[in-house]
Amino acid sequence: MRRLILYIATSLDGYIARPNGDTSWLHDERYSLEGEDFGYGALLQSIDTTLMGYKTYQVILGFDMPFPYPDKTNYVLSRSPHADTAHVRFVRDDATIFVQNLKRQQGKNIWLIGGGQINTLLLKAGLIDEFIITYEPVILGDGIPLFAQGTPEKQLHVLESRSFRNGFVQLWMQP
């Protein structure tokens, strides 16, 4: 069965974006390390599918660049109807049932890009198989949380941790 991997960065206080959805703090040049991609290239090699919420999709479209995953099958979960694009299929079905079925299909792993509401829904359903969380040395004070309020307690097993010269700390975990 395919694995659903949540690969995401968060602030020290657990936010994945500012309240308005802004993620520019993730791309602060002070934190770049030449030749280091923090496992992103390996992740992309291990997947053939992405999954994200509509707000996350809107953030990606705002990056002023071509859609970054044209060689993947990309699903956007949305409550509202949208027309599919050349690179994205919109899904209005029940997200947990959709993901259960998606995981049963043949293929490589699936990257859960986010956001917080989708992360929470799929965590509650027990559908996230691996967590790769990168903590960045910034405190936002407010924003969109990695997991929405009301998320149940969940113990995770740390497989590996890694710290980087720029202050990033990355954890690989499984339920």
Q: Pick from 91, 56, 43, 50: which is nearest to 70 by CA?
A: 50
| Residue in 139, 145, 148 with CA at minimum distance from that of residue 25 | 139
Q: What is the pTM of this model?
A: 0.95
Following CA atoms 127, 132, 136, 141 in sequence, which dihedral angle do they give, to the nearest 10 degrees? 10
Q: Which residue has the tokens 């936010």?
A: 15
Q: Provide the residue ranges of all domains of the chain, joining segments of one domain with +.
A: 4-174
Return the percentage of the chain with pLDDT > 70, whole number.
100
Evaluate if residue 28 carries a pLDDT over 90: no
- The helix (run of H) or strand (run of E) holding residue 118 is helix 116-124
Q: How far are the Cα atoms of 29, 55, 56 from residue 16, in angstroms, in the given order?
A: 18, 12, 10
**Does 33 score more than 90 pLDDT?**
no
Average pLDDT over residues 70-93: 96
Nearest alpha-carbon partner for 16 in 60, 49, 78, 46: 60
Q: Is the pLDDT of residue 63 over 90?
A: no
Which class in CATH covers the domain with range 4-174?
alpha beta
Average pLDDT across the chain, whole number: 95
Nearest to 133 by CA among 23, 32, 16, 37: 16
Say yes or no to pLDDT of 73 above 90.
Answer: yes
Question: Which pLDDT band holds residue 134 (cuts at 50, 70, 90)?
Answer: very high
CA nearest neighbour of 53 among 75, 23, 30, 29:
75
Q: Is there a contact between 115 and 145 (Cβ–Cβ < 8 Å)?
A: no
The pLDDT score that the predictor gives to residue 60 is 92
Q: Which residues of 69-94 are buried (b: 16+ CB within 10 A; e: fewer)?
A: beebbbbbbbeeeeeeeeebebbeee
What integer pLDDT is reported at residue 27 of this predicted model?
85
